[in-house]
Every structure is written in C-alpha cells, then in structure tokens.
Copies of this chain bind each other. A is one copy, B any other.
Amino acid sequence: MTEPAPVFANGVDHERLTSQLRFYLETDKLKRILRRNMLVDGSRRENDAEHSWHLALAARVFAEYAPEGTDIDRVVEMLVLHDIVEIDAGDTFVYDAQESVSQLERERAAADRIFALLPEDQAKRTRALWEEFEARETPEARFAKAIDRLAPMLANWHTEGGTWVRHGVTRAQVLEKVRIIAEGSEALGSYAVALIEDADRRGYLATG
C-alpha cells in the first residue's frame, strides 16, 4: 500500500483527505490488471483501467439504446468502479466456469478491503453501487453490464476471433453471454447476435 505524502493543507480535514488519497493511490493498481482480450489493433492485452475508461465512453456513445429513463450518469459511475475489486481478485475470464465459482467470494473480500479505504460515507456509497452493478436488477446495472459484455465482442471480432479462437470458445457459448446484452439493451443485443453470426461465418469461433 502506497501512503499519501505526510503533508497538511490549510482548511482541509487531514484524516478525511488522507483516506481519499489512500484509495486513489491504491486504485492505480488497476492499470496493471490484464484482461484476456486484446486492444482493437491486436498489439497487446488490455488492462482493466483502460477497459473501464472505454466503457465509460461507450455508455455515453450508445446511451440512446438504453431503455427510456435510464440514468446514464449512474451507468458511467458504475462502469468507472466496476472492476476495482479485480485489484485483489484478478480478472476472471468470462468463459472459465471453474474460476467463476470462486469469483464472487474473492471479489466480495476485495470490496471489503478496497472500498473501506475511503471515508465511511463514500465507502458505503461506492460499495452499494458495485453491489447494484453485480445484482443486475436496475436498468442502470443491466445497461452497464450490456456495455461491459459488448466491448470484448467488438475487440474479438476486430482481431479475427482474438480470445474466442485462442480459448476454444464456441458460438453457443458466446450466444449465451449475448443474453446479458439483450437484457440491458434490446438494440445492442440484436447487434451482438448479428455480430456473432457474422463471426461464426468467418471462422472466428471455435467449432463445437
């Protein structure tokens, strides 16, 4: 854990600011958590921080495909923090059934440690937003998850199969994940199905 500089500023609650700085510095580690998928140009694997940035942008770009009344600011807030737990829990490959079983437990423990670095009021709010994202019960959480699922599909299509080919992922397995996109956005779900059908025709998916 990196400690904030031991300096005092005029008119600032030192303890509170130190907690906030500690959380900010700790989350720098998200830049070193690698995902399975590659950048769109195929040059290297993507990290969680830049992935989260791209989703925050995508939520705005594709906002019109969210159900009417969806609060996009809240979607962006969720997406900015949705992967922070992976600093401790690591990235879980969405097609790895074994890893996925222990994932929730590992992520809960990570949330307990990392969000608690913040002052209590902010820790509570941040934790609640992350839980909301995971529960996928509000339109905001569903749309955020849809964006999170769509992004690697776009990267995979544009790298001629990327992680699908490398990890032997089949059309049936991908279509199962597409359901989560459709739950958050009918239009993006429909686009994702068309994308997968096209990827299948091009041989970007494993046969099985």
Contact = CB atoms under 8 A, between A and B. Distances in A.
A7 B194 contact: yes
Contact of A191 (B9, B28, B32, B73): B9
Contacts of A10: 190
B43 A53 contact: no
Interface residues of A, number: 60
Nearest to A189: B9
Contacts of A52: 53
**Interface SS majority for chain A:** helix
B27 A57 contact: yes
Interface in A10-42: 10-12, 17, 20-21, 23-25, 27-32, 39-41
B190 A12 contact: yes
A47 interface: yes
Contacts of A198: 5-7
A77 interface: yes
A80 B62 contact: no
Given A11-B190, A28-B40, A5 B53 contact: no
A208 to B, nearest CB: 22
A154 interface: yes
Nearest to A6: B198
B194 A8 contact: yes
Nearest to A56: B80
Contact of A9 (B6, B7, B29, B187): B187
A148 interface: no
19 contacts: A5-B195, A11-B190, A12-B187, A17-B187, A21-B154, A24-B61, A25-B40, A25-B154, A29-B41, A30-B53, A31-B39, A50-B53, A56-B56, A57-B81, A60-B77, A73-B73, A73-B76, A76-B77, A76-B80
